[in-house]
């Protein structure tokens, strides 16, 4: 049987993150051809286009007109994600955009509506959903062996941010999406925040999921960019799970006990899953461990129609709604229902 035609992909943005963590995945993904690279800074577009055998552009509309690609990725600032994605979706072309999907909840909703109108789809760069340590844990949760979910805790320490909103928009949005990934829809939040005189932001958010189950986010910007910290604890009726960074998942489950050996009392009953590679760099496998390979590979397969898109524009809307709800709760010093954030 003839190989299907490769997906012809155009990419907007050739800055720091995309150059370090996104473009290097493309040669490893089967069935995708990078045909165009666009950046307002022509030298950036030319450098990346040369490295991957694509055509450079410094204007997105000109690239779309010239190449008519099958799919588009965009990695810049939130207003760029919104502007590029609107153009792409209006042409009926699927789009993948980095997080945050847009500057505001309203603009994130515009993207979801544009995709719906055009009969196509968009994905948002919530790469934690593709980090193998999270994927195997979620698989266990959904397997029936975990029992019903009892509670969820996510801790996240990032590099510095001067204000709460940018911390939530640019970094907090990852654990904010992850609470929905693990716990389902959130019904209400009650958040407490503090900003220190030297600019460290911290916020603790109590959550009530639609299932009635409680959860908690504990986020701060007191770390450095090379020492970000992530920890997830999930309690179920039959098991518990912890995930440290994107490196290691551990399931504590009576069903996972070692075999009974006469004369030996096995006190340990955890199953560990380690991912090789560190959180940080491409060279150390961080592109795979952290989910960058997985998110782009999934996008390409969704464009082919092989899988349903996940981490969709609708998920982007819900993440932005949660951010607005957390800020409304901090400012109003009260519980906020997500249904009141429109």
Contact footprint for ligand NAD (CB under 6 A): 12-18, 38-41, 44, 60, 75-77, 80, 98-99, 125, 127, 170
Q: For residue 262, give the DSSP letter.
A: T
CB of 339 to ligand NAD, least distance (A): 28
CA 166 to chain centre: 16
- Of the pair 126, 182, the CB lying nearest ligand NAD is at 126
Nearer Cβ to ligand NAD (4/162): 162
Residues 6+ apart with CB under 8 A from 243: 133, 134, 137, 230, 231, 232, 249, 250
Q: Closest approach of Cβ 162 to ligand NAD, in Å?
A: 16
Minimum distance from residue 245 beta carbon to ligand NAD (Å)? 13
Residue 75 C-beta: closest distance to ligand NAD, Å: 5
157 SS3 class: strand
* CB closer to ligand NAD out of 108 and 336: 108
In terms of CB distance, is 208 or 247 closer to ligand NAD? 247
Shortest Å, Cβ 324 to ligand NAD: 18
C-alpha to C-alpha distance for 98 and 183, rounded to whole angstroms: 23
Among residues 84, 11, 67, 72, the alpha carbon closest in space to that of 44 is found at 11
What count of other Cβ atoms lies within 10 Å of the Cβ of residue 160? 14
CB atoms near residue 84 (< 10 Å): 23
Whichever of 183 and 291 has its CB closer to ligand NAD, that residue is 291
> Reduced to 3 states, what is the DSSP secondary structure of residue 301?
helix
Q: Which residue is nearest to ligand NAD (CB)?
A: 15
């Amino acid at each position: 049987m003839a190989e299907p035609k490769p997906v012809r992909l155009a990419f907007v943005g050739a800055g720091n993150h995309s150059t370090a963590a996104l473009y290097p995945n493309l040669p490893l993904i089967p069935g995708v051809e990078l045909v165009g690279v666009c950046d307002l800074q022509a030298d950036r577009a030319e450098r990346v286009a040369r490295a991957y055998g694509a055509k450079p552009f410094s204007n997105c509309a000109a690239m779309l007109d010239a190449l008519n690609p099958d799919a588009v990725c965009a990695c810049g600032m939130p207003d760029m994600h919104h502007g590029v994605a609107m153009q792409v979706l209006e042409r009926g072309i699927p789009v993948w955009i980095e997080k945050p999907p847009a500057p505001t909840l309203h603009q994130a909703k515009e993207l979801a509506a544009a995709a719906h109108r055009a009969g196509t789809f968009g994905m948002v760069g919530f790469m934690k959903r593709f980090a193998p340590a999270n994927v195997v844990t979620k698989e266990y949760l959904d397997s029936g062996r975990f029992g019903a979910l009892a509670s969820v805790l996510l801790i996240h320490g990032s590099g510095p941010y001067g204000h709460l909103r940018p911390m939530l928009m640019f970094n907090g949005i990852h654990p904010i999406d992850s609470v929905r990934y693990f716990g389902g829809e959130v019904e209400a939040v009650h958040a407490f925040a503090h900003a220190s005189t030297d600019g460290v932001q911290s916020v603790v958010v109590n959550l009530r999921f639609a299932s009635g189950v409680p959860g908690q986010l504990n986020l701060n910007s007191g770390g450095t960019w090379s020492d970000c910290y992530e920890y997830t604890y999930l309690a179920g009726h039959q098991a518990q799970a912890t995930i440290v960074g994107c490196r290691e998942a551990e399931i504590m489950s009576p069903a996972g006990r070692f075999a009974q050996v006469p004369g030996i009392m096995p006190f340990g009953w955890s199953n560990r899953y380690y991912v090789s590679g560190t959180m940080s760099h491409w060279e150390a496998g961080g592109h795979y461990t952290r989910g960058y390979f997985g998110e782009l590979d999934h996008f390409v397969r969704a464009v082919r129609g092989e899988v349903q898109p996940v981490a969709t524009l609708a998920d982007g809307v819900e993440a932005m709604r949660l951010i607005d709800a957390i800020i409304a709760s901090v400012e109003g010093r009260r519980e906020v229902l997500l249904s009141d954030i429109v």
